[in-house]
Amino acid sequence: MGKSKYNRILLKLSGEALAGDDKFGINNDTIFQIAEDVASAHKTGVQIGIVIGGGNIFRGVAASTKGMDRASSDYMGMLATCINALALQDALEKMGLQTRVQSAIEMAEIAEPYIRRKAIRHLEKGRVVIFSAGTGNPYFTTDTAAALRAMEINADVIMKATKVDGIYDKDPAKNQDAVKFDAIKYIDVLNRGLAVMDSTAISLCMDNKLPIITFNLKTPGNIKRVVAGEKIGTLVS
């Protein structure tokens, strides 16, 4: 069993990550693969908080560009994150982990309300805490929710799991000559307009000196590798 480099981490999973090769919804094999990865990372002793997106179920921003009111579409997106949180909770518990889901929008029959001190206590007891419903506010992304919750729980780092190996100078899917950064400064991410996290999330991390590691979730075992301090992906600091 490897040892964790960190005491407490905030793992940011996009909603799309749960869809796997499907375009939409929750792919069973994929969610169990992710749960297995989280479980093996958890065995290193690290405390894990998770913020999950909702884009596999509803894309708030996309709907607002088609004429839907932005606030309404963002609220729908927040509800989508709750569906994902419950699915992930179920998968994690099947792996033997203890979990709690906390929601930024009160829905007491479904999840605990978000209470910072309670979340920290759960983490100290070795429970994986899944934070759902974003920040509870429209106009804020789940990346910003991840940055906010990471700071609130005093996480050592945000681990942003994505579909690519890290941050490139241009889109690696469209440009064969794209170059990957091993490390990059927050300000350079902002100035170059690199699509890592939205600018609100990056600024929040920059102002509070919270490092971000982006890495590819599709490679099994990557969460544990990053937790163990292996230098994969890109470090933003």
Assess 1 for contact with ligand GTP (CB under 6 A): no
Closer residue to ligand GTP in complex, CB, 120/151: 120
For the CB of residue 158, give the shortest distance to ligand GTP in the complex, in Å: 24
Please say whether the beta carbons of 48 and 97 come within 8 A. no
Q: Is 231 exposed, middle or buried (0-12, 13-18, 19+ CB in 10 A)?
A: exposed
For the CB of residue 107, give the shortest distance to ligand GTP in the complex, in Å: 8
Q: Which residues 6+ apart lie within 8 Å of 30 measured at CB?
A: 17, 18, 19, 20, 21
For the CB of residue 30, give the shortest distance to ligand GTP in the complex, in Å: 25
Closer residue to ligand GTP in complex, CB, 93/188: 93
For the CB of residue 83, give the shortest distance to ligand GTP in the complex, in Å: 15
Report how far residue 124's alpha carbon sits from residue 128's, in angstroms, rounded to the nearest whole number. Answer: 10
Q: Name the segment binding ligand GTP (CB under 6 A); options: 4-12, 104-112, 147-155, 222-230.
A: 104-112
Q: Which residues 6+ apart lie within 8 Å of 24 measured at CB?
A: 56, 57
Give the total of residues touching ligand GTP (CB under 6 A). Answer: 9
Convert 158-214 into a string of H (helix), E (strand) and C (coil).
EEEEECCCCEECCCCCCCCCCCEECEECHHHHHHHCCCCCCHHHHHHHHHCCCCEEE
Closer residue to ligand GTP in complex, CB, 21/109: 109
Please say whether the beta carbons of 158 and 211 come within 8 A. yes
Within 178-217, the residues that bind ligand GTP by CB under 6 A are none
* Contact code string over 105-134 relative to ligand GTP, x by CB under 6 A: ---xxxxxx-------x---x---------
Report how far residue 38's alpha carbon sits from residue 227's, in angstroms, rounded to the nearest whole number. Answer: 10
Q: Name the segment binding ligand GTP (CB under 6 A); options: 49-57, 80-88, 102-110, 146-154.
A: 102-110
Assess 85 for contact with ligand GTP (CB under 6 A): no
For the CB of residue 120, give the shortest distance to ligand GTP in the complex, in Å: 11
For the CB of residue 78, give the shortest distance to ligand GTP in the complex, in Å: 17
Report how far residue 107's alpha carbon sits from residue 86's, in angstroms, rounded to the nearest whole number. Answer: 13
For the CB of residue 105, give the shortest distance to ligand GTP in the complex, in Å: 12
Closer residue to ligand GTP in complex, CB, 41/130: 130
Report how far residue 8's alpha carbon sits from residue 19's, in angstroms, rounded to the nearest whole number. Answer: 27
Assess 100 for contact with ligand GTP (CB under 6 A): yes
Interface positions with ligand GTP (CB under 6 A) = 100, 108-113, 121, 125
